[in-house]
Chain A
């Protein structure tokens, strides 16, 4: 019995609905939505009207000013989430063995707000007015780097650049680092893509919802689904070897039991059916989990009718009849899609759901024409042991992660 097993021992959440795992769960349970108008300076004239914004976030509460001036908002979120996760797991920075702790994040958007500000200095005043931290702040790897530097974590660090599904792949990467001998990994993703430059970069996505009304902008799996809205925020986790965690008195909250990722090409939603089904089968096989043993599904839920259909069919392909019985939910309908941060927030929701025996509902969506038992309106009590979390990226990545309640 010396196989190393990766477990989540700490959760840190920065979400549009709440900051911190406890408040996040409260909002999830109530099916609260944070979607609202984008009222940020420089964004008013853009056709994208609705998003899930993180409001009332005071970065200085979590991170020292010397890191804040060097970093973009997406890294502020990641560092704050990492700090919350470490506090939750009671994991200290500057560990005795710095090589025993690593950091893995995923990012798709990078530091758009910081980058835009410096590029504006470049064109308005000249190269000498571009601050030196531009060289690191807008880079998608910034969050891993800064969390590692700040905490003194010198283990096998990494950055996953695999599209939105990278938020799940980062956790799988962490689990693999643990199985190879690293004691603890800070893993997850956070993004801040709601600033003028980053928003303009997204306007070309065909699935983007330009609806004015936050009530109607993002209704995944609904008969009136009209695309998705972006969001900011994300989640970080402390992933540890179970035995090592228990020895130091930490509480395993969920086991990362299986993962699989596939690629089926950008915006080819019909093809994503096969890719996602393959990912589900692979993740279940790694977890030694039968399809019938999946107790809840946290869906990708893009909100584009063709993509929603493909996901429902992928579940049917991989789970058989069970796909029509297992509760499926998409809490991100009330958050928006924070790119790589979205599946990380789903993992946080899944772990909390497993702990509470409660499936949080899908906000906004009222009816579901697909052959799925979509949980809407109210949370549903259920005996939950195994959760399946799904994610797809707009560029074609599909990923599935299986989480399991740990043995007491």
Chain B
């Protein structure tokens, strides 16, 4: 059964899909946006698709760049929980 995605897992995903090394602290900062990390829109799409494929969920992808990373992770995890 799929469990919640942690900041560590998200950091690994960003590294593999977008080639950007980020720390857990950076991601957990409530104001942190993908663009601040140097992840471009295609990189975000890659991360999103990977999450969706892995956890069998569908995430609203609108305004992903305009929302903090922490909020994105929250959305993902509530979908994962709802689907579980």
**With contact pairs A66-B38, A128-B53 given, residues A133 and B21 touching in the complex (Cβ less than 8 Å):** no
A69 adjacent to chain B (CB < 8 Å): yes
**Bound CA–CA A135/B15 (angstroms):** 20
Once the chains bind, are B21 and A128 in contact (CB under 8 Å)? no
Question: In the complex, what's the smallest C-beta–C-beta distance from A68 to chain B, in angstroms?
Answer: 6
Once the chains bind, are A132 and B21 in contact (CB under 8 Å)? no
A320 adjacent to chain B (CB < 8 Å): no
Once the chains bind, are B19 and A67 in contact (CB under 8 Å)? yes
Which one of A64, A68, A125, A132 contacts B42 once the chains associate, using CB atoms below 8 Å? A132
Once the chains bind, are A66 and B49 in contact (CB under 8 Å)? no
B46 adjacent to chain A (CB < 8 Å): yes
Number of interface residues of B (CB under 8 A): 16
Once the chains bind, are B53 and A129 in contact (CB under 8 Å)? yes
The count of A-to-B residue pairs whose CB atoms sit within 8 angstroms is: 38
Which one of A68, A128, A135, A136 contacts B19 once the chains associate, using CB atoms below 8 Å? A68
Query: Which residues of A in the span 87-137 have a Cβ within 8 Å of any Cβ on B?
Result: 125, 128-129, 131-133, 135-136
Once the chains bind, are B49 and A65 in contact (CB under 8 Å)? no
B11 adjacent to chain A (CB < 8 Å): no
**With contact pairs A128-B52, A128-B53, A129-B53 given, residues A64 and B19 touching in the complex (Cβ less than 8 Å):** yes
Residue on B with the closest CB to A67? B19
**Bound CA–CA A136/B43 (angstroms):** 12
Question: In the complex, what's the smallest C-beta–C-beta distance from B8 to chain A, in angstroms?
Answer: 18
Question: In the complex, what's the smallest C-beta–C-beta distance from A76 to chain B, in angstroms?
Answer: 12
Once the chains bind, are B18 and A69 in contact (CB under 8 Å)? yes
Which one of B21, B38, B49 contacts A129 once the chains associate, using CB atoms below 8 Å? B49
Known contacts A128-B52, A131-B17, A132-B49, then 9 further A-B pairs from the complex at CB < 8 Å, ordered by chain A residue = A64-B19, A66-B19, A69-B17, A69-B18, A70-B43, A129-B49, A129-B53, A131-B46, A136-B42
